[in-house]
Amino acid sequence: MVEVVRAASSSSMRFVASAPAKVIMFGEHSVVYGHMAIASAIDLRTYFDVSVKSCDYPDNDFIFLEFEGIWPNGIKVNRIHLQNGCESSDEEILLAANNCTQKCLSDNNINSPSTLLTVALCMCIVIFIKASSKSVNGSVPPLHNRNFFVSIKVSSEVPIASGLGSSASFSVAGVVACLTLNGFIDPYSWTPSEQEFVQIAKLANLAEMVAHGKPSGLDASICTRGGAITFKMGSPPICEPLIHPLDSSSKILIVNSGIERSTKDAVEFVLDKYRQDHEGIERIFSDIDTIAHSACRIMSELDFKTSNQFTKELMDLVSNGHDLLKQLGVSHPTLDHIVRIASEFNVSAKLTGAGWGGCVFGLFQE
SS3 157: coil
Tally of domains in the chain: 2
Tens digits of per-residue pLDDT, 232-265? 998 888 999 987 667 666 789 999 999 998 888 9
The CATH number assigned to the domain holding 295 equals 3.30.70.890
Regarding whether 25 and 74 lie in a shared domain, the answer is yes
Low-confidence residues of the chain: pLDDT under 70: 1-11, 56-59, 83-87, 132-140, 244-245, 247-249, 302-307
pTM for this structure? 0.92
Exposure string (b/e) for 194-225, b if CB count within 10 Å is 16 or more?
eebbbbbbbbbbbbbbbbbeebbbbbbbbbbb
Q: Of 241, 271, 294, which one is at a domain's C-terminal end?
A: 241
Residue 292: domain span:
250-365
What is the longest distance spanned by two Cα atoms in the chain?
68
Element (H, E) at 139: none
Task: Give the chain's length.
Answer: 366
Tens digits of per-residue pLDDT, 138-172? 666 777 777 788 999 999 999 999 999 999 999 99
Regarding whether 286 and 210 lie in a shared domain, the answer is no
